[in-house]
Amino acid sequence: MTDTVQPATEASTAAKTTLDINDIQRLLPHRFPFLLIDRIVELDRKKRIVAIKNVTINEPFFAGHFPGMPVMPGVLIVEAMAQAGGVLLFTEVEDRESKLVLFTGIERAKFRRPVVPGDQLRIEVDVRVWRGNAGRMEGAAYVGDKLAAEALVSCRLVNRLRAAPTSSPETAGS
């Protein structure tokens, strides 16, 4: 059995209501170990997105958080909410190769229960305010039917800056 990955066109990615990891990677610049969503199971443009994060013991943060009692850091759960919101925002952006979605705020973050290896995190993000280059979204993360975390996140679409060279002929060897 062979799997063939077909490249998604801009239009087909924007029109889909579910996305796999390949579709997500076409939209977000994040990569391992910082890509924190595995699948989009619901996408209602400019309104709502539902993402899945399969939490495994192989996550690099579990080595130190906490030895003998691994717990997913709450800040990474909020980051997963922001990434889901970023997917939702990026489905509306045509020139996303030249853009980044940056966090601009986190409000009312609450952590209700630990998320541990073996859990499947369902991240639900609803748009509260949407402008062409900014958004405010309400996120909730569930394990099964139990609320694990919630937060209001805001973000802004910015131009991606070109990385400055690390050395030039004038500074080489300094």
Catalytic residue among 16, 26, 39, 65: 65
How far from 8 is each of 25, 38, 42, 87, 147, CA to CA, in Å? 11, 17, 18, 15, 34
What span, in angstroms and rounded, lies between the C-alpha atoms of 47 and 132? Answer: 13
DSSP-H helix ranges across the chain: 10-15, 21-27, 74-90
Active site residue 30: no
Which is nearest to 103 in space by CA: 33, 163, 151, 146? 151
- Catalytic site residues? 65
